[in-house]
Structures are given as C-alpha cells and as structure tokens.
Structure 1
C-alpha cells in the first residue's frame, strides 16, 4: 500500500490561494462560511474548540476544512459574541490580513485556502465531507515546516509562491506519512485509500508503461467482478476507469513536455 501511495504523491500539486491570521478572544466565536477550495487552520497559540469536535485545540493542531463546508472556531469562556469572517481573506500576494473576533487573541491560527491535487485532476481532500483535526506534533518534522510556511505567508516577496507551495506539499506528505505509519485517525482522507482494492488498481495504472491493463485486468487486480469494480471505481475516484486513464496519459505527456 505504501508503495502505491508513494507513486500517487509524486504527482501531488499544492498551492496556497489566499491566507489570513485568525484571532479569537475569550467569549467570542468566529464563524467562517463555505469556501470554494480547501481551508487549512494551523493553531499557532492559545486554545479553543472547533464546533462539533470534542477535543480542545492546542498549538500544533491542523484543521482541514473541505470545500463547501462552513465551520466555527471558539475561544475559551462563555460564548458572548459572534464574528462573521467568511469574506475576509486576501490573495496570497497582497500581504498579511488579520481576522479578529474580539480584542485579545486567546486562540490564534494561520489559515489559508489551498488547492491540492494529484494526477492533475483529483482533489487530495475530496474524500472528506466535514472538518478534520490532525496533530502535527505527531507528524515528525511538520511543525517546523508549517512555521516556515507561516513565516513566508506573513511577508510575501519574490519567490514566495513557489516556496509556499513546496512547503505545503512537504507538510501534506509528512501528514500522510504519520497517518499511514501509526496515527490512523482519519485513514480515508485521500481518495482511493478508503478502499485498498481501488488503490491496487490505481497503482497498477501508475506502474504500467505503454501496455495498459484492461478493465478486466484491473478488476482481477482489485479482486472484484468487472461490473462491481467499475461501479466502485467511479464512486471512489469520481470518474470512469477510461476517463482516469486518459487524464493520466495527458498528465504524463505534460510532464514530458516540461522535462524536455
């Protein structure tokens, strides 16, 4: 399984679209509505809660909010006031923006809308439908990588977009490594990992050269009937096997053009 995931991540693309520093004071709640892309919160300091999540947030926590899903951050203390902040994000190149709920920050996060795709088309987080919380302290070098990413976002300059994208990709790979190597809190957060049979079939397509495996071959690799495999592949990946194969060919051709 790890070998197949490794091949998938060679095709991973990650980009920061917009960002802000979010601050929530005691007795306040910050409401952020649905965003068009994935939203990440990294807890820099303080403590608080994510609505619907039982464990308190602490420095080193990473909140992943899928596209089209709203969420709420609350600092300690009895809830008194609510701040709507869904529209207050700034393009990556325009400098630092703060979204503040209240006057004194008891919960501070660096938040960014990001695009994360692999094989040119597939969204890395399309397999989740609600916010998830990960402990980056358990993901090896991730906190240091995120701190460098936040520093780059605070003062963007020449080359910052390329550096931020590289750091974001490194953080996501370290996060996935921690999930596969032991944490396992959210094992289905990447498309195809939720079903090892589909992961084997995707891996076979990635490993194939000029001779492409047929639908029957892939179904045998998955250990399923052809019809059941095709239905499950469409459900997990969001496209037919033929469509996926075409996109994979296009992506490989594009890489060859870049490398030659």
Structure 2
C-alpha cells in the first residue's frame, strides 16, 4: 500500500472553477456528479443532500470531500423553529458556500478520490490552521485577481494535505479507499465491499471479483492490508458506522442494518468492542465534544431484546 507520506509528497491537483452559492438567493444548487468535489463554507450552515438519501451537515467549521458519481444538493439549515422564523422575516443569516470539482492524483496518474464511496467530513475549531487555509481558499475563489486559477490549485493542494493528515489521525488507512490504489485487482474486491458493506461475502466470491485464486487473493490482500478480507470487512463496517453516526440522524438500528448487522444488540457489542464506547454515546460525543467525557453504554448480552 502507498504510504500516506509518499502519497502526499506526490500529490498533484487540478481544480475546475469553483461555483460560489448564496443560498438566500438560490434554490438547491448542486455539485458533481462525475468527479470528486470539494465543498467549503464562508458563512452560515445547512446540509448537503446526497443521491441515495444520505445527508451531511456543513458549516464554517467543516469541509467536505464529495465522492464522484453522486450528485449532491446544497440546502440551508431550516430545521429549527427559530431558523424558519428568521427566514420568513428575512433576517436569516447569509449562507455562502463554494463547491468545485477536483482531480487529485498521485504523480499525475492514480486518482486519490476515484474510489471514494462516502463523503469525507472534517470538523475544526476557528483557531485551527486548517480553518485558516480553507478561508484563504474561499478568499481566492471570491477574488478576480490575475493567476487566480493557478493560485486556487496551489491552495487546494495545501488544503488537501492538511485535510488528509487530519483525516487519517482517526481513520485507519487500511480500511479506506486508498488501499486499492496500488493493486487494481484488489481494488475491485475492495470497491465491492465499500459499496455493499451490508452484504455477506465469502472469500471465494471476493477472489473471483479480483480475478485470483482464493489462496493468492488471501495472501496478497493480507500483505497489502495487514489483515484478512473478512477482518477488513468488519473494520470497514465499523468505520462506515462511525461516519453514519457522526454525519446523519439515522436511528442506531438503521445504521446497524446499513453496515450488515442483523440486530442493534449485535452491532452495539461489536462497536463497543472496537471503540470502547457504545454507538449512542459516540454520536453524542461527536456532536457535542465540549460537554464532557463519554457516557459508556452497557454492552448488551447475547440474546438481548432489540431497541427500536
């Protein structure tokens, strides 16, 4: 597998012109759908609605990399009574976002985000260096200075390096879309698991997708990833569940089903064993990091009744 250090050293970026949206004047603009896209916000907050029903919250304190081939609509926050009253009175805060298609490659060949299946969402504080970098990007996008496109691509490269450093502090690169960059045949099997984490796969079925024998596939996969395909699938499911818990309001039982668990109780046991915290407490802590320490949910015993 290409190391993150090597990948970022060889990172090359091309950016199409970013489109700036004032969401008080526009109705549900969209990004995509064919290329990966970078979404950042100058002011206000709202949600990005992805094809397939998933939603991701956005604000001045996060940035989103949208996967290719998934159209996304951008909608201002209207979920609270106060927000609706301000909107009706014409005093709602201005929501300004920018979205642009990007091509980020390793040495001009392998597309960094070509196999991305779910959005990358990174949150940061106002005094975080990554926040300043993305505000610099927004300033450059909004300007009409000479050499603006070249400068945007330079700043996007810096932003992506900071973003990837941050992302892989808390995401295991072995469960990410990056593993498939080195080996196209392994990448096919991994893409299938990324696309259908809820499906039960056999080693034989995955080997057939990769075009290898079971023994060769298992050995090559373990060498590239450091674990078996089935162990990888389990890690992938839990990583996907973490993202769904942080970036959606789906019930825990629904999250469990989407990542291949037949019951909430079995999902909670696996999640707790991996993260040391239950899914509900994980979601609460992710949304309210300043409130205090995690409240650890008890791990349900085998055969415990499901909670709707």
Normalising by the smaller structure, the TM-score range is: 0.5 to 0.7
Q: Which has the higher helix share?
A: 2
Aligned to 1:63: 64
Q: Structure 1, residues 97-117: CA drift from partner, whole Å, max 9, x if none?
A: xxxxx9976432122111111
The alignment status of 1:15 with 2:3, answered yes or no, reads no
In structure 2, which of residues 134, 140, 160 is the aligned counterpart of residue 146 of structure 1? 134
The answer to whether the 8 Å contact 1:25/1:103 transfers is no
Provide the secondary structure at the position in 2 that maps to 1:7.
helix
Q: Comparing both structures, which one devotes a greater share of its residues to strand?
A: 1
Whole-Å separation in 1 of the counterparts to 2:119 and 2:100: 14
Q: Secondary structure at the match of 1:69?
A: coil
Structure 1 pair 140–180 and aligned structure 2 pair: CA distance change class (3 A): farther
Aligned to 2:83: none
- State the 1:161 CA deviation: 2.9
What secondary structure, in the 3-state scheme, does the structure 2 residue paired with 1:30 have? coil
Provide the C-alpha distance between the structure 2 equivalents of 1:152 and 1:36, rounded to a whole number of angstroms: 24
Shifted more, 115-124 versus 70-79: the winner is: 70-79
Displacement of 1:226 after TM fit? 4.1
Supply the distance in 1 between the matched residues of 2:13 and 2:67 (Cα, whole angstroms): 15
Q: Distance in 2 between matches of 1:225 and 1:24?
A: 54
Unaligned runs of 5+ in 2: 81-89, 187-213, 225-308
Is contact 1:60-1:137 (8 Å) kept? yes
Q: Is the 8 A contact 1:188 1:194 kept in 2?
A: no
SS at match of 1:110: strand
Question: What CA RMSD, in Å, does the superposition of the two structures yield over aligned residues?
Answer: 4.1
Higher relative contact order (CA 8 A, sep 6+): 1
Match of 1:44 in 2: 42
Q: Render the CA deviation track for 1:151-170: whole Å, top value 9, x for unaligned.
A: 22222433333322221111
Q: Deviation at 1:133?
A: 2.2
Q: Distance in 2 between matches of 1:140 and 1:68?
A: 31
